Amino acid sequence: MDILVGSIAAGILIGMVLALMALGLTIIFGMMDIVNFAHGEFLMIGMYTGLLTAQTTGMDPLFTLPVAAAVGFLLGVICYYGFIMFLLRGPMVAQLLGTFGLMLFLRNLALLFFGPQEMVVHKGILVGKSFDMGMGIIMPATKLAAAGLSVVAFAAVWLLMHRTKIGKALTATSLNAQGARYMGIPTERMNALAWAIGGATVTIAGALLVNFWYVNPYVGILFTMIAFAIVALGGFGSVPGAFFAGLVVGIIMEIPGIWDFFTYTFDSDWMAEVPMTSFKYMWVYAAYFVIMVVRPRGLFGWKR
């Protein structure tokens, strides 16, 4: 029982960070129907920003969020005006491959600057500490803080989207870009803003994630695929969908732990022999496939 509850709790915690990561992708997709393959690379840049700011200034990694957010904001704006704006005129094939090119570009740029070795955060207020919550749930403090801050950031974006004038303009642009332009909304600038918000949220998620996850230049593609799964499950373009789907995908990623629980409960030999930890991410991809086949709109989707 302990293992089961512990796995699910860990899944929910990581799921909150993953939801924040996927938020940017879903906003960008909802706005301009473009799939950003470089999303995981944005996350990687956020992770490096958090880590390196903490190392050079001696701050705690948790307090590097504003720096990461600024970097992500700028990155989004630069990417939009420098590249994506031209890409939007082309056909879909070009958009897919173009953002893939962006991904390769950022990844190898990171490789050039930071080298291929893995880096981890070693020191910080919360690193190494953990809370015992009873029922066998031991929560690393870093994960708890990351999850909490993710929820705060998520709520901030939700408020921005639903309670401010800018948010209304963003929503209008995503519903009908041409109509929004006629109403005097600068849609180009709104698109750029969507990229900026997307970039900022994903780099914040990266700076949170780096507290308990290694970072190397190749880490991006895994998170890109996870983000796609979350966005597909929640529905392309849906903000609350992304949050719940993030939790679900977080739990899916903990399937090996849940599998262990059933192995012990039933005490079965064949279950112990399945190399479940090697399949850790396969379930995420498989879930994506099943969702796309069964319900392409996703759970909360409004766009087809």
Partner 1 sequence: MEAIKNALDFSDFPRNDMIIALFVAVFLLFFPLFSKSTFAMATVIQFLMFSLYGMGWNTIGGYGGQVDLGKAQYVGIGAYTTAVMLIRWDIPFWFSMPIGMFFAVCWSFIIGYPLFRLKGHYFAIATIATSLVLKDIFEVWDLVGASRGLEISPIKYVPPDFLRLIFNSDIYYYYFILVFFFIGILYVNWFRKSRLGFQLRSIKDNEDVARSLGINVHWAKVKTYAIATAFVSFVGSFHACYIKNLEPEDTMSLDLSILIALMAMLGGAGSLWGPIIGAAVLIPLKTYLKEWLGAMGGLLGIDLIIYAGIIMLVSAVEPKGIWGIVQKVRRRKRA
Interacting residue ranges for partner 1, rule: CB under 8 A: 33, 35, 83, 86-87, 90-98, 100-105, 107-109, 111-112, 115-116, 217, 221, 225, 228-229, 232, 275, 278-279, 281-282, 285-286, 288-289, 292-293, 296
Give whichever of 103 and 146 is closer to partner 1, judged by the CB atom: 103
**d(Cα 233, Cα 297) in Å, to the nearest integer?**
8
Give whichever of 61 and 237 is closer to partner 1, judged by the CB atom: 237
Q: How far is the CB of 179 from partner 1 (least distance, A)?
A: 22
Cα distances (angstroms) measured from residue 62 to each of 16, 55, 121, 216, 303: 16, 12, 11, 19, 36
CB atoms within 10 A of CB 52: 17
Q: How far is the CB of 103 from partner 1 (least distance, A)?
A: 8
Q: How far is the CB of 38 from partner 1 (least distance, A)?
A: 10
Q: How far is the CB of 2 from partner 1 (least distance, A)?
A: 27
Q: Please check whether residue 239 is in contact with residue 27, taking contact to mean a CB–CB distance below 8 angstroms.
A: yes
Q: Please check whether residue 148 is in contact with residue 204, taking contact to mean a CB–CB distance below 8 angstroms.
A: no
Give whichever of 140 and 301 is closer to partner 1, judged by the CB atom: 301
Spatial CA neighbour of 209 closest among 284, 121, 281: 121
Give whichever of 183 and 282 is closer to partner 1, judged by the CB atom: 282
Give whichever of 94 and 127 is closer to partner 1, judged by the CB atom: 94
Spatial CA neighbour of 26 closest among 198, 163, 149: 198
Give whichever of 106 and 208 is closer to partner 1, judged by the CB atom: 106
Residues in Cβ contact with 41 at an 8 Å cutoff, skipping those fewer than 6 apart: 102, 103, 106, 107, 110, 220, 224
Spatial CA neighbour of 158 closest among 87, 254, 91, 240: 240
Token pair of 205 as six digits: 């998620």
Token pair of 274 as six digits: 């399945």
Give whichever of 217 and 241 is closer to partner 1, judged by the CB atom: 217
Q: How far is the CB of 98 from partner 1 (least distance, A)?
A: 3
Q: How far is the CB of 85 from partner 1 (least distance, A)?
A: 9
CB atoms within 10 A of CB 78: 15
**d(Cα 87, Cα 13) in Å, to the nearest integer?**
36
Q: How far is the CB of 284 from partner 1 (least distance, A)?
A: 9
